Amino acid sequence: MEKAVLESIAQSIVQKGKGVLAADESLRSTERRFAKYNIPHTPENRQAYRDLMFTTPGIEQFIDGVILFDETIHQTTLDGVPFAEYIHSRGIVPGIKVDTGFVDMAGFPGEKITEGIDGLDKRLKEYYQLGARFTKWRAVITIGDGLPTEACLRANAYLLARFAIISQENGMVPFVEPDVLMDGAHDIKRCEEVTSRMLDLTFFELKNHRVHLEGTILKPNMVLPGKECPDQASLDAVAEATARTLRRNVPAAIPGVVFLSGGQGAKPSTERLNAIVNKGPFPWQVSFSYLRALADPACEVWLGKPENKEEAQKVFYHRASLVAAAREGKYTEAMESMVV
């Protein structure tokens, strides 16, 4: 493990004014997205969809990292350049999602465990040769009646740490993603309790596994009430709870915290990021690792039609500029209607 190299990569991914495009959708996820817009779910359309985002003119002003999926890192632009190579040529760091998804956790109904540790070292060596310089692993935590259990939290924290140290041993910066889901009717206080415990366990395991924290990025959820909660917290309450939770549970050694959007929607996730940043200063960079909040508005314009690509790229560029402004705490609602 070359710690200085890991630190350099991590710092390049959390540059001020920029964030990460989480273009690591599985085939199941792209199928759902395309169905929403009546786009045929073909390899050609998936390639065109990713090409639309990655080749958007000027996007490097707002994006400093892109998380790819296994299919994507083996694809090329429509002009025939490997995606990872093309992304790197624009001064953006290519990364790769390396978990293989979630399964039911045996003995614990309603809870999930992430798979993909078996064979991870071998796969990382291939991804490194293909150009990836950081990795991502997601754990999903459900809040419900009696959930999550301590066993589920501990099992997922352990796997996050195993993933992280294997990544670093292969020269790649791990994005550690403990995701407490928005599904359910729980209030914001319960989300804060669960998020705090999951972060506490995650960093215990990271340290226990000798993970180099200065070469690690945290990708957490914001502290939010469940979607079905009758008491939806205010913007300031979300920002205050999230900032408090991070300060209490995230070591200062971490270079950056990059929030997932978690299906909040483009505008809410932008507003909340902006509000959280303005609760600073923080000992780490606070940024974003979004997909839906960036891609959905562009997909509404693109609709899988080549003739709509240029206009969709303008929408994608504009949305990225708004989220990048929020990452600096400078977003305003008036910016939504500005012409690109």
Q: What is the pLDDT of residues 81-108, one digit of tens each?
A: 999 999 999 999 999 999 999 999 999 9
Evaluate if residue 34 carries a pLDDT over 80: yes
Closest to 17 in 3D by CA, of 336, 329, 242 = 329
* pLDDT band, residue 337 (cuts 50/70/90): confident
User: What pLDDT is recorded for position 171?
Assistant: 98
User: What pLDDT is recorded for position 338?
Assistant: 76
Tell me the pLDDT of the chain averaged across its residues: 97
User: What pLDDT is recorded for position 30?
Assistant: 94
Task: Name residue 218's beta-bridge partners.
Answer: 176, 257
Tens digit of each residue's pLDDT (9 = 90 or more) over 211-244? 999 999 999 999 999 999 999 999 999 999 999 9
* pLDDT band, residue 263 (cuts 50/70/90): confident
| Residues forming the active site | 177, 219
Burial class of residue 222 (count of CB atoms within 10 Å of its CB; 0-12, 13-18, 19+): buried
Average the pLDDT over 186-194 and give the result. 98
Query: Using CA atoms, how far apart are residues 57 and 297, in angstroms rounded to an integer?
Result: 17
Q: Determine contact, residues 65/11, Cβ cutoff 8 Å.
A: no
| Nearby residues of 176 by Cβ (< 8 Å), 6 or more positions away | 137, 160, 163, 164, 202, 206, 216, 217, 218, 219
Give CA separation, 98 vs 25, 60, 80, 129, 339, in Å: 12, 24, 24, 15, 38
Query: Using CA atoms, how far apart are residues 232 and 195, in angstroms rounded to an integer?
Result: 17
- Cβ of 93: how many Cβ atoms within 10 Å? 23
Residue type, 176: V
Going along the chain from its start, the domains and CATH numbers come out as: 3-330 (3.20.20.70)
Evaluate if residue 340 carries a pLDDT over 80: no
Share above pLDDT 70 across residues of the chain, in percent, rounded to a whole number: 99
User: What pLDDT is recorded for position 120?
Assistant: 98
User: What pLDDT is recorded for position 95?
Assistant: 98
Average the pLDDT over 137-153 and give the result. 98
* pLDDT band, residue 124 (cuts 50/70/90): very high
Q: Determine contact, residues 199/242, Cβ cutoff 8 Å.
A: no
* pLDDT band, residue 339 (cuts 50/70/90): low
| Whether pTM exceeds 0.85 | yes
